[in-house]
Amino acid sequence: MSDPVIVVSPSSDTPVLPLVFDSPHSGFDYPEDMRSILSKKVLRQTEDAFIDALFGHVPVLGAVLIKATFPRCYIDPNRSTDDVQVDAIDGDWPHPVINSIKTNRGAGLIFTKIQGEEVLYDRKLSVAEVENRIANYWQLYHNQLSAELDRLHSAHGQVWHINCHSMPAKGNIHAEDGEVERADFVLGDRDCTTCAPEFTNAIEEYLSGRGYDVGINFPMKGVELVRKYGRPDEARHSLQIEVNRRLYMDEVEITKNDRYAETASVLADMNAMIADFVRDRVSV
Ligand SMILES: [Zn+2]
């Protein structure tokens, strides 16, 4: 097994920017103790496959890249630890519970269903195994991300964070938007609460200028990672970006499609623009 979380920093000869990208859902190192009844091929539908690779160049720009190697359906760093589905647990869950709308679809902290339908387990999970996933995966991810954000914020007085995801090309009946084709990109700042609007606007304008359609805060507005770390009044700016999977992959086979190279090139240009945006606002 690889380390659950990998942090890639700029090389020593690259000026460091207060800029962090994180990819919480691209991991596919399935822990032995997961013991799902579904095949890996079905489980892999939940991954934001290749997103860590599409953003893999950002350390060259002076940014830090943090990525999970564990799969999001084992435990999701982009959910609160309160978002536990108690009827999926054997015995009494001894911690606070606040469920989200996604919990009912089986997509809370610990996934119990794939796309609201296929059931992951033929058993209830023990309290000890859920606590282990929180302590040794979820918490580790948050520790690494918050440490990088805090370190850069204390050095520069400001920090920018891009929370990187991909979304299925179409929603389904369980999704907020239903069975419709989605925009090329969706930016989420939880209704202008997790970063300064100029940051969201700059990225929207950039992608629109390259000919893409861009949604804002619908059907995804950002969940736990931007909610927890985005505090624009403290000059901590977090923005979620969702890349439509049709722009780079075959969703059934989980392979790169013929648009991958073009999309990788556009994302490289976008991230260079983001690095310039940050560089213009700090002295490094
Ligand atoms: Zn995601």
Environment of ion ligand 1 (residues, CB < 5 A): 25, 48, 165
**284 Cα: distance to centroid of ligand 1 (angstroms):** 31
Q: Is residue 36 part of a domain?
A: yes
Buried b (16+ CB within 10 A) or exposed e, 53-82: ebbbebbebbbbbbbbbbbbbbbbbbbbbe
Q: Is residue 97 part of a domain?
A: no
In this prediction, residues 222-236 reach a mean pLDDT of: 97
So what's the pLDDT on residue 176? Answer: 77
**254 Cα: distance to centroid of ligand 1 (angstroms):** 15
Owning domain of residue 177: 5-74+155-281
So what's the pLDDT on residue 178? Answer: 79
**32 Cα: distance to centroid of ligand 1 (angstroms):** 22
pLDDT at 117 > cutoff 90: no
Q: Mean pLDDT across the chain, nearest whole number? A: 96
**62 Cα: distance to centroid of ligand 1 (angstroms):** 24
- 153 near 159, Cβ under 8 Å? yes
Q: Is residue 79 part of a domain?
A: no
Q: Is residue 141 part of a domain?
A: no
So what's the pLDDT on residue 284? Answer: 59
Q: Is residue 215 part of a domain?
A: yes
Q: Is residue 124 part of a domain?
A: no
Q: Is residue 270 part of a domain?
A: yes
**41 Cα: distance to centroid of ligand 1 (angstroms):** 17
Segment 23-51, tens digit of pLDDT = 999 999 999 999 999 999 999 999 999 99
Predicted model pTM: 0.96
So what's the pLDDT on residue 169? Answer: 94
Q: Domains in the chain: how many in total?
A: 1
**12 Cα: distance to centroid of ligand 1 (angstroms):** 30
| Alpha-carbon span 194 to 261, nearest angstrom | 31
> Which CATH number do you get for residue 255?
3.40.630.40
**166 Cα: distance to centroid of ligand 1 (angstroms):** 6
Q: Is residue 134 part of a domain?
A: no
